[in-house]
Chains A and B, each alone.
Chain A
Amino acid sequence: MNSRFGSNALSILSLAVLWEVTGRAMDSTLIPPLSQIAAAWWKLLSSGKLLANLSMSLTTLVIGFLLAVFVGVVLGLLMGRFRAVEHFLDLYVNALMSAPTTAFVPVLILWFGLGVESRIAVVFLFSVLVIIINTMTGVKQVDTVLVEMARSFGAKEREIFFKIILPAALPAIMAGLRLGIGRAVKGMVTAEMLLTLTGIGAMIMQYGSAFATDSLFAVILTVLLVALVTMKAVQWLDRRLTGWKAEIAIE
């Protein structure tokens, strides 16, 4: 853990130094030195503009992602457990999984308008499929001996589901959530840039077209930070829920 933290810090530090040196040497608006970006970031932060937009974006992200988790886990469990449901739905899930999700944005605008609803829908669509597929795979990979064991002790379908299938599939479900949160962040920014110029995405478009590269990079770095923090949050939840799995992996 400590050595990892050290390596991370060293990596960030060397990149920062490289960036600063390159920026100063180039002396161009295309790659502003990091110190200039930091100054722009501080200005955006102290004016309250960044936080206002960020909170708008995060609201979209959280609602869209939670919906995706709920729908994705429920559908994934059903598809994994019941072959009929799987055969009914896997065609669409696989098709949507490989199709570029951005292509659906115009349809979502038509359905949900230009408000927050369609942004939530984009976040949802970006993250739900990978959660469905991971959950389904997790359920299918449950050791049949464990199910047999439960049945031999008189477990009914309900008990098998909650006491065996769900906990056994949890590591795979959590892996789906980890992938899903990354996609949700992508969906959030995509929606804000393509749909309704709001939140973080609007700031990116605005500063990009104005060649305000220092502010642009400040916002992009903020997006990276959001992605990292949300990912860490899901990882933390994963460790809390499936600690037993991590211990097995270490051995």
Chain B
Amino acid sequence: MSVQTVQPVQFVQQVQNPLESSNVLNGLNGLNVLNESKHLVEIQGVSKSFHKTVKESTTEIKALSDVSLSIRENEFVSIIGPSGCGKTTLLKMIDGLIPYDSGRIVINGKPVTAPGPDRAVVFQSFALLPWRTVLANVEFSLELRQLSKEERAKTARDYLKRVGLADFENHYPHELSGGMQQRAGLARALAVNPTILLMDEPFGAVDAQTRQLLQEELLELWQRERKTVIFITHSMDEAVYLSDRVVVMTPRPGKVAEILDVPLPRPRVSEQVRRHAKFVDLTNYIWESLKRAMENHH
């Protein structure tokens, strides 16, 4: 069994009459748990260790231990956990950048062995090429896909427009704010039209106001583009605001502590959602869950 959908007890007690849309969502969840073939991403008992050699002695650092998680198509899943719990490692393994030691990661029925055109990563540090303009940076992802020069420019401009950077295509990354740089990073990832968007703390390096703005923009984009998003974050309210489900992980070696449904209606308007009783409860619940996971660890 690769899915463990745990309903937060506290939460269920407090919200007696869940909204209609959340009923629908929960109903779908139940359906998909039974029907595993609907899952786009299957992570089955994955473990990963790193070997660190200092002088003669090699120490083994267990980063992830027996992680299982299934993600449906078009689902927005956040993974939250303390620093060093292997969230980023997990994301890199889903992308195929690093191999896993044991278990299986299957996407669309095929085991992951290398990065593929169905996945694109948005990096925490933006990872833009400083010698290229914004347009050329977005084109980078397309250059590796045998498109004609005109097609590349056309597609790149199209996605720059979608992230609101149409007027900045000739700027260099260092001329842009952090938020704008990450919009460019997002455009680069979207431009290859991936099925799955892998986001590694994408808003961790921008200021709080920009962060909130980017979250709203991301939700709008996600609503329109219908991608499956796997989103790594440190921030509890970010995870709740954005996600269909939140995966809470334990400290190293990272394990899945619990998986929580977020039955907030969509589209989510930031100001309203954040004041929603459910939002507050769920955020608190995740905090408790993280604390429990860390206490059990010690």
Name the prevailing secondary structure of the B interface residues. loop
B130 contacts A by Cβ under 8 Å? yes
**Which of A44-52, A207-215, A219-227, A240-248 binds B?**
A240-248
Question: Which of the residues A152, A164, A242 comes within 8 Å of B95, measured between beta carbons?
Answer: A152
A-chain residues with CB within 8 Å of residue B131 when the two chains form the complex:
167-168, 170, 242, 244-245
Contact call A154/B129, Cβ cutoff below 8 A:
no
- Measured between alpha carbons, how far is A161 from B119 in the docked complex, in Å? 22
For residues 117 through 163 of chain B, which have their beta carbon under 8 Å from a beta carbon of chain A?
117, 119-121, 123, 125, 127, 129-131, 140-141, 143-145
Instruction: Given A159-B144, A248-B130, check contact A153 B123 (CB 8 Å).
Output: no
B180 contacts A by Cβ under 8 Å? no
Instruction: Given A149-B123, A152-B95, check contact A167 B117 (CB 8 Å).
Output: no
B232: min CB distance to chain A, Å: 14
A232 contacts B by Cβ under 8 Å? no
B77: min CB distance to chain A, Å: 19
A154: min CB distance to chain B, Å: 5
- Please classify how large the interface on chain B is, using the bins under 10, 10 to 19, 20 to 34, 35 or more: 20 to 34
Question: Which of the residues A155, A159, A244 comes within 8 Å of B130, measured between beta carbons?
Answer: A244
- Measured between alpha carbons, how far is A153 from B125 in the docked complex, in Å? 16
Contact call B129/A152, Cβ cutoff below 8 A:
no
Question: Which of the residues A148, A154, A242, A248 comes within 8 Å of B145, measured between beta carbons?
Answer: A154
For residues 131 through 163 of chain A, which have their beta carbon under 8 Å from a beta carbon of chain B?
143, 145-146, 148-155, 159, 163
Contact call B116/A154, Cβ cutoff below 8 A:
yes
For residues 78 through 128 of chain A, which have their beta carbon under 8 Å from a beta carbon of chain B?
none
Instruction: Given A145-B125, A146-B129, check contact A153 B144 (CB 8 Å).
Output: yes
A-chain residues with CB within 8 Å of residue B115 when the two chains form the complex:
151-154
Question: Which of the residues A146, A168, A248 comes within 8 Å of B174, measured between beta carbons?
Answer: A248
B-chain residues with CB within 8 Å of residue A154 when the two chains form the complex:
115-117, 144-145
B97 contacts A by Cβ under 8 Å? yes
Instruction: Given A154-B115, A154-B145, check contact A167 B192 (CB 8 Å).
Output: no
* Nearest A-chain residue to B119, judged by Cβ: A152
Instruction: Given A154-B115, A154-B145, A251-B174, check contact A148 B97 (CB 8 Å).
Output: yes
A-chain residues with CB within 8 Å of residue B127 when the two chains form the complex:
143, 145-146, 148-149
* Nearest A-chain residue to B117, judged by Cβ: A154
Instruction: Given A152-B120, A154-B117, check contact A164 B174 (CB 8 Å).
Output: no
* Nearest A-chain residue to B98, judged by Cβ: A148
Question: Which of the residues A164, A242, A248, A251 comes within 8 Å of B129, measured between beta carbons?
Answer: A164
- Measured between alpha carbons, how far is A247 from B119 in the docked complex, in Å? 34
* Nearest A-chain residue to B125, judged by Cβ: A145
Contact call A153/B192, Cβ cutoff below 8 A:
yes
A168: min CB distance to chain B, Å: 8
- Measured between alpha carbons, how far is A222 from B34 in the docked complex, in Å? 86
| Most interface-central of A152, A155, A251 (chain B CB within 10 A) | A152
- Measured between alpha carbons, how far is A150 from B141 in the docked complex, in Å? 8
- Measured between alpha carbons, how far is A78 from B133 in the docked complex, in Å? 28
- Measured between alpha carbons, how far is A95 from B120 in the docked complex, in Å? 46
Contact call B174/A247, Cβ cutoff below 8 A:
yes
Contact call A155/B125, Cβ cutoff below 8 A:
no
Q: Can you name 11 A-B residue pairings with CB atoms under 8 Å?
A: A143-B127, A145-B125, A148-B127, A153-B115, A153-B120, A153-B141, A154-B115, A154-B144, A247-B175, A248-B130, A251-B174
B residues whose Cβ falls under 8 Å from a Cβ of A = 95, 97, 115-117, 119-121, 123, 125, 127, 129-131, 140-141, 143-145, 172, 174-175, 192
